[in-house]
Amino acid sequence: MKHLRFLIYLCVVLSLQGCIEEVTVEALVGPTSGRLVVEGLITNEKKPHRVKLSRVTTALPENPPAVVSDASVSITDGTTTWPLLEYPQGSGSYWTDTIQGEPGATYTLMVRVGNATYHASDQMPQEIAFDPNDNYLQKYLGKGSPNYYVSGPLVLYGADAPARITYSLQQLPDSSMTYFSFPGVDPDNVVPTFSDNLQFAPGSVLRQTKYALSRQHYLFMRAVLLEVKYYGGFFGSTRGNVPTNLSEGALGFFGACAAHSRMARVE
């Protein structure tokens, strides 16, 4: 379970916080272009939303990616503009006040770093309801008493619309499991499925959230999985072609997702 959870974390972190450039063997630990990397998301959840700014790292980094501080960051829906403030100072993490996005609206991220200005837009899809395939609750016996676990694939195919789905424990929010539901089927399992599981005891409160992805957001996440780890087979993709909605050569993605949640106490 820890190994598979690490793979999911690796996919996201390498693609968003420390995007790896295609380089020669001699340049694996040498200078990089220093291109901006953006990790940003706005949802219809009423809460502060974060945008993370960093720089491209080397293919074999010795240190964490350099963060970008003192940038001017804002999000707009064309009518209202929300400024983001860096907190903590020097972290490269920029936060809105408590705001709530609206499905159907288009949101644009504006980032100014020095004399360079970057932007990205995404339209928030409508919420996606849960279906029977979204339930992976199972029961097992451990240490002489019944316990539970959630088990599911990293990628579930055949969905009507793309989504990212998370399970988390209400009392332990850092304990979570994430997987994706993608439409159609990739040829020859270009993106293979791997089971992961989240274990918990009876009486736990389980929260499941389904984040609807726009088509461009889905294509970005699919490409990230292919690029970082899940590639190969007879129809393997060309590496190094992860799309982005950011301008001026920046990497990463700014997304707008509609979240649909449910909670249950498991007895």
- 136 with 224, same domain? yes
Give the integer Cα–Cα distance in Å for 53 and 45: 22
Q: Are 42 and 101 in contact (CB under 8 A)?
A: yes
Q: Which of 101, 123, 145 is the last residue of a domain?
A: 123
Q: Which of 61, 93, 123 is the last residue of a domain?
A: 123
pLDDT for 59: 56
183 within some domain: yes
Whether residue 48 has pLDDT greater than 90: yes
pLDDT for 254: 98
Number of Cβ within 10 Å of residue 25's Cβ equals 6
- HSE, CB side, 13 Å, CA atoms: give it for residue 244: 22
Whether residue 241 has pLDDT greater than 70: no
Enter the DSSP assignment of 225: H
Parent domain of 139: 132-242+257-265
Q: In angstroms, what is the C-alpha Rg of the chain?
A: 19
- 145 with 261, same domain? yes
Closest Cα partner for 40 from 102, 141, 111? 111
Q: What pTM was computed for the model?
A: 0.80
Whether residue 56 has pLDDT greater than 80: yes
Three-state SS string over 97-131 comes to: CCECCCCCCEEEEEEEECCEEEEEEEECCCCCCCC
Calculate the average pLDDT of the chain.
80
pLDDT for 176: 85
CATH number reported for the structural domain that contains residue 101 in this entry:
2.60.40
148 within some domain: yes
pLDDT for 58: 63
Q: Which of 105, 123, 141 is the last residue of a domain?
A: 123
10 within some domain: no
Number of Cβ within 10 Å of residue 146's Cβ equals 12
- 119 with 146, same domain? no
Enter the DSSP assignment of 62: S
- 119 with 140, same domain? no
Q: Are 221 and 163 in contact (CB under 8 A)?
A: no
Give the integer Cα–Cα distance in Å for 255 and 192: 24
The whole-number average pLDDT for the span 8-16 is 44
- 87 with 148, same domain? no
- 136 with 119, same domain? no
223 within some domain: yes
Q: How many domains does the chain divide into? A: 2
- 136 with 237, same domain? yes
pLDDT for 141: 57
Return phi, psi of residue 8, to 5°. Answer: -65, -45
pLDDT in tens, 169-204: 877 767 788 888 899 876 645 555 666 778 888 888
pLDDT in tens, 71-98: 999 999 999 999 999 999 999 999 999 9
237 within some domain: yes
pLDDT in tens, 116-146: 999 999 999 999 998 877 776 766 655 556 6
